[in-house]
Amino acid sequence: VFIAGSGPIGAVFARLLVDAGYNVIYLMSPPVVPSSPHLLPNRDTRVPGAHKKNEIEYQKDIDRFSHAIPLSKGALSTVSVPVSSTVVPTLDPAAWTASDPTQMYITNGRNNFQQTYNNLGAEAVTRGVGGMSTHWTCATPEFLKGLERPKILTGESADDAEWTLLYDAARSLIGTSEHEFDQSIRHNVVLQTLIDAYPDRGVKALPLACHRLAEGSPYVQWHSADNVYGDMFTNPTKTNVDGKARGQFKLLTNTRCTRFALANENAPFKVGAVEVKDLLEDRLFPGGGPTDFYIRSKVFLGNCLTDRWQILANSGFGGTRDGAIDIIPNLGTHITEQPMAFCQIVLRQGRLTLFQVDDIPKNLDTKPEWWAAAVRHHIQQHGDTDPLPIPFKDPEPQVTIPASLERPWHTQIHRDAFSYGEVGPLVDSRIVVDLRFFGMQVGVPENRMVFETAITDSYGMPQPTFEYRPTEKYAFEAHDMMADMTDVASKLGGYLPGSSPQFMTPGLALHLGGTTRLGQGTDKGETVADFNSQVWDFDNLYVGGNGLIPTPFGANPTLTSMCLAFRGAYKISQDLAAGQLTPPNPAQALTPTPRTWLNWAFDVNDPNYPVHQRKLHRSV
């Protein structure tokens, strides 16, 4: 099996197929470490793809992590940037300027097809092993049934049972927990304040893929593709519960997957090989040279977001502007985006009706023992110099108000490291809380991502152009979401100067959906693949990632995308075991995922049971 893209979803396919005994070649373009010149080498991680926030310098000062991930400076690369004017009013008059002042600069990745008004200006990709999971928030909520969650099986009870199995397995594999911040004073202050303010909205701890390093420790280990890989890099000869040895697993870095090549002209729906470019060698042949090679495989997977769908477009399968007949006619259409509202507040002093900062050291005999001990120790050590009763290493809050049909938006009320949420030196970060609210947008044909054949990106692939506008219904929902965020913020405190409520640049949520949307057989005319992630009509081409999700969603999509990958990996394994690759049958009803395929996620005695509490890596 060939997999392009080494983020957490590609890792799910690789893990399940290798553990089932199949050979996997896994391709990613940049080197394993570092994934960005602004990030330190991955010297503290056990295997490739670990979360960068686990590095000691960021564990000690979370605000420093905000410099590691901003657009174009850290791990993220902006997808589409409109051209800019050549006119610089303050330029030396003797300096060079274009003879035609209406001409625009097109260098540095500028896209002369991209309009500003319909761009997803902050949409970005991470080109590195582990992908976005090397710097994500680790939030892993379920999708809301009846709105966000796609319907896979006919019959409500069968579909519910399918999603329960898939979600339980995904939580096990990525290591989701809602209890790692139970012994945080700030977390409990924010949580209880919002439970009291909104008793009917199900306020709870935000589900996070992480674990606390030790009981009472201020540090957590943030999970990523590393946790999905498990011991694949360190224990290649491991056998599964049936005694079957792992398949071979090879990770190729510093390479570019250029295109899928069809088996022959008489087989328009069967991929025979993938064309790959060695990016290191390519630097030695600026005029072109022997840097391309082909990899043959039985099954091919295009995985992740825009940088992987470029491969499908470059293969001539669809999604381009040139009007060619498309093998995959809906590639890049029906894209969905999450309008994002943001603000930061400083926790209030305290009031009679809502528990806040001033109440933290009061009535300690009625507080949990860990709370009272931490506050007493802090006051004893620093009471004369620190005006706050909050221990310096008190873990941050991690709270959510789940989406509902009445309020269709996802919320994260927490502290995390983003370039737009950095706290300056004038306010103590212990009393700052971030509010991030994520809205929804249904996929419509006119909202699309087009791949330009006339220009290429910095990697020589077709340049993506966005054509996106929010539809009326979801635009007004975003307005209501902003009103709700300001109401929630008012219950917690006052706005941090410079971080008043605002809508962020479209695309900043980094959860682009719908690009390769899944559907039932009756939806074939508007979708790309079936709910086994297999592209319509193809014997051996699959897709993976958040782009598969056909529904509007506000929640973080990683957990749901993992669920879809479980089904895709099972279909691949069944076809390979039978020795016959079969295309999707639109007329045939989909079947439930056998629990035996995912039993490793639940049986602690299974050799492939996910273990997240691992010995820390101290040397290389």
Count of helices and strands (H, E) across the chain: 10, 26
Scanning the structure block, which residue is given the tokens 């940037």?
A: 81
What confidence tier does 130 reach under pLDDT thresholds 50, 70, 90? Answer: confident
**pLDDT greater than 50 at residue 45:** no
Model pLDDT, residue 34: 36
Cα separation, 317 vs 310, in Å, equals 10
Q: Do 13 and 308 contact (CB within 8 A), yes or no?
A: no
C-alpha 210/C-alpha 417 separation (Å) is 16
Q: In 10 A of CB 97, how many CB atoms?
A: 14
User: 341 with 478: CB under 8 angstroms?
Assistant: yes
Does 352 score more than 50 pLDDT? no
Is a pLDDT exceeding 60 seen at residue 72? Answer: no
Residue 103 has a pLDDT of 80
- Residue 15, Cα to own-chain centre: how many angstroms? 18
| Residue the block writes with tokens 């005006």 | 387
* Segment 178-206, tens digit of pLDDT: 999 999 999 999 999 999 999 999 999 99
| pLDDT band (50, 70, 90) for residue 61 | confident
Active site residues: 511, 556
Percent of the chain at pLDDT > 70 equals 90
How far apart are alpha carbons 373 and 6 in whole angstroms? 44
Outline where DSSP puts E strands in 134-185: 176-177
pLDDT of res. 88:
85
pLDDT(516) > 60: yes
Query: Are 13 and 569 spatial neighbours (Cβ–Cβ below 8 Å)?
Result: yes
Q: What is the mean pLDDT of residues 157-184?
A: 98
CB 351 within 8 A of CB 564: no
What per-residue string of b and e applies to 56-86 under the rule 16 or more CB within 10 Å gives b? eebbeebbebbebbbbeebbbbbbbbbbeeb
For range 375-389, the mean pLDDT: 94
**Which runs of E-coded beta strand occur in 163-226?**
176-177, 204-205, 208-212, 220-222
What 381-388 contacts at long range (C-beta under 8 Å, 24+ apart), as own/partner pairs, is 388/357, 388/428, 388/430, 388/431
- For residue 521, the model assigns a pLDDT of 94
Q: Look at the alpha carbons of 561, 562, 566, 569 in this order and tell me if their dihedral is positive or negative.
A: positive
For tokens 């929640």, name the residue: 555
Confidence of residue 44 (pLDDT cuts 50, 70, 90): very low
Q: In the prediction, which pLDDT does 560 show? A: 98
Q: Which segment, 45-49, 50-54, 79-83, 542-546, is predicted with the most confidence on average?
A: 542-546
- At residue 104 the predicted structure's pLDDT band, cuts being 50, 70 and 90, is confident
Distance CA 316, CA 324 (A): 8
Domain map (residue ranges) of the chain: 1-31+223-319+513-604
Q: Is pLDDT at 113 greater than 60 in this prediction?
A: yes
Which residues make beta-bridge pairs with 222?
A: 210
In angstroms, rounded to a whole number, what is the distance separating the alpha carbons of residues 131 and 125? 8
The model's confidence at residue 68, banded by pLDDT at 50, 70 and 90, is low
How would DSSP label each residue in 70-125? SBTTSSBEES-EE-EES--TTS-TTS---SSTT-EE--TTEETT--STT--TT-EE
Model confidence over 147-156: pLDDT tens digits? Answer: 999 999 999 9
Helices 185-197 and 472-492 pack at an angle, to 10 degrees, of: 120
Q: Which residues of 305-337 are buried (b: 16+ CB within 10 A; e: fewer)?
A: bbbbbbbbbbbbbbbbeeeeeebbbbbbbbbbb
The residues pairing with 211 across neighbouring beta strands, listed in sequence order, are 221
Residues contacting residue 607 through CB under 8 Å, at least 6 positions apart? 238, 239, 240, 241
The pLDDT of residue 42 is above 50: no
What is the pLDDT, as a whole number, of residue 36?
36
Q: Could you tell me what percent of the chain has a pLDDT over 90? A: 69
b/e sequence 242-274, b meaning 16+ C-beta within 10 Å: eeeebbebebbbbbbbbbbbbeeeeeebbbebb
Question: What angle, rounded to 10 degrees, do the helices at 156-174 and 8-19 form?
Answer: 90
Token reading at 402: 């789940």
* Least confident piece of the model among 258-262, 284-288, 443-447: 284-288
Q: What DSSP state is assigned to residue 614?
A: -
Given a cut of 50, is residue 71 above it in pLDDT? no
176: nearest Cα among 212, 207, 215: 207
What lies within 8 Å, CB to CB, of 483 at 6+ separation is none
State the average pLDDT over residues 469-482: 96
The pLDDT score that the predictor gives to residue 67 is 63
Choices 2.40.50.220, 3.50.50.60, 3.40.50.2000, 3.40.50.300: CATH for 1-31+223-319+513-604? 3.50.50.60
Statement: residue 401 has pLDDT above 80: yes
Q: What is the mean pLDDT of the chain?
A: 89
More confident residue, 322 or 364: 364
What is the model's pLDDT at position 425?
64
Tokens read off for 427: 């306010």
**Residue found by looking up tokens 């946790």 in the block:** 227
Does the structure show a pLDDT above 50 at 43? no
> Is residue 595 pLDDT above 70, yes or no?
yes
pLDDT of residue 459: 87
Which has the minimum average pLDDT: 34-43, 185-194, 305-314?
A: 34-43
Interval 320-349 mean pLDDT:
90
pLDDT category at 351 given cuts 50, 70, 90 is low
